[in-house]
Amino acid sequence: MKIVLLDAQTLGDDLDLSPIRELGDLTIYQTTSSNETLERITDADIVITNKVVIDAKMMDASPNLKLICISATGMNNVDLAYAELKNIYVKNVAGYSTKSVVQHTFSMALYLLEKMGYYSQVAGNGEWSHSKLFTDVSKPFFEISGKKWGIIGLGAIGREVAGIATAFGAEVSYYSTSGKNIKNAYPQMTLDRLLQSCDIISIHAPLNDDTYYLLNENNLHELKNGSILLNLGRGGIINETDLAFEMNRREIYVGLDVLEKEPIDMNNPLFKVKNKDQLLITPHIAWTSKEARVKLLDGVANNIKSFIKQ
């Protein structure tokens, strides 16, 4: 079997790829642009991709292609309908990053909640050294305990976030983006009510017709002053132009691990947010703990093994 890995760099250079190498003749590309893809997969039996797009034209030009392994959960980079028509199997890996994303959710929440950016600067720039006090309470922070935590998208990740937030002492509620997820241990709210009542809101939903620009100029104004909004779902759920405007208008705190265009465009309006302490952006890393990436690689290897055994 000729196996082609198109974007190894997304897995990190600290992983041992031998579980894949043992399964066939492996060719590794660190990155692959759209105009390089076709040439690289033409003779492949198996293609591994994270974000590289595999469309109908590429499948037609790859007569040996039998299996596409997506080294991710999302499958929107492959034309699934055409793959089925061509009898090409497509396999993803689900659930590998849940713990990692949940941990990053609370890392972002605590960073913003406890004003870590400000206090790190005060301690690091000598300002605290010149103070007459042993402490600094100039930027009050608050506890999660007793706060209302709203979750948009109560799937596997959302449920784990809910459990930990509850352990912190928060009162959890949720909004179902599909309207179908109604049997849970937590109270369900309308989106407007969630935005109006919650102190911390975290997004763990997929991007689809129901969630595109779910948060925009028509409802972002409903967020409570001083509240925290976190997006660890998908970029495009929040209209970033509207969000930047709202952040410059008043005090809300925002943590984003996903953006509509990645990597972030230098013209993104979020760069114009005046108070930098209100905003924390991380470069789509919530899923990337070492443990999660090892699970992901194992999942890809298992998908290939299962296919070979058929």
What is the residue-level pLDDT of the chain in tens, covering all 310 positions?
999 999 999 999 999 999 999 999 999 999 999 999 999 999 999 999 999 999 999 999 999 999 999 999 999 999 999 999 999 999 999 999 999 999 999 999 999 999 999 999 999 999 999 999 999 999 999 999 999 999 999 999 999 999 999 999 999 999 999 888 777 899 999 999 999 999 999 999 999 999 999 999 999 999 999 999 999 999 999 999 999 999 999 999 999 999 999 999 999 999 999 999 999 999 999 999 999 999 999 999 999 999 999 8
Q: 245 and 104 in one domain?
A: yes
What is the reported pLDDT for 9?
97
CB atoms under 10 Å from CB of 113, counted, come to: 19
What is the reported pLDDT for 310?
85
Please report how many Cα atoms fall inside a 13 Å half-sphere around the Cα of residue 66, on the Cβ side: 12
What is the reported pLDDT for 173?
98
What is the reported pLDDT for 220?
98
The H or E element that residue 203 is part of is strand 200-203
Rounded to an integer, what distance in angstroms lies between the CA atom of residue 198 and that of residue 188?
13
What is the reported pLDDT for 180?
83
Q: 112 and 19 in one domain?
A: no
- The CATH number of the domain holding residue 147 is 3.40.50.720
Q: 197 and 104 in one domain?
A: yes
Give the active site residues. Answer: 234, 262, 284
Q: 277 and 148 in one domain?
A: yes
1-36 core/surface letters (b: 16 or more CB in 10 A; e: else)? eebbbbbbebbeeeeebebbeebbebebbeebeeee
Q: 255 and 106 in one domain?
A: yes
- Is this model's pTM higher than 0.75 or not? yes
Q: 295 and 266 in one domain?
A: no
Q: 174 and 194 in one domain?
A: yes
What is the reported pLDDT for 155?
94
Q: 181 and 35 in one domain?
A: no
Q: 183 and 112 in one domain?
A: yes
Q: 113 and 82 in one domain?
A: no
Q: 165 and 203 in one domain?
A: yes
What is the reported pLDDT for 184?
83
CA 112 to chain centre: 18
Residue from 77, 87, 88, 84 nearest 55 by CA = 77
What tokens were used for 237? Answer: 């759920």
Q: 236 and 167 in one domain?
A: yes
Q: Number of structural domains, the chain?
A: 2
Q: Which domain holds residue 34?
A: 2-96+290-309
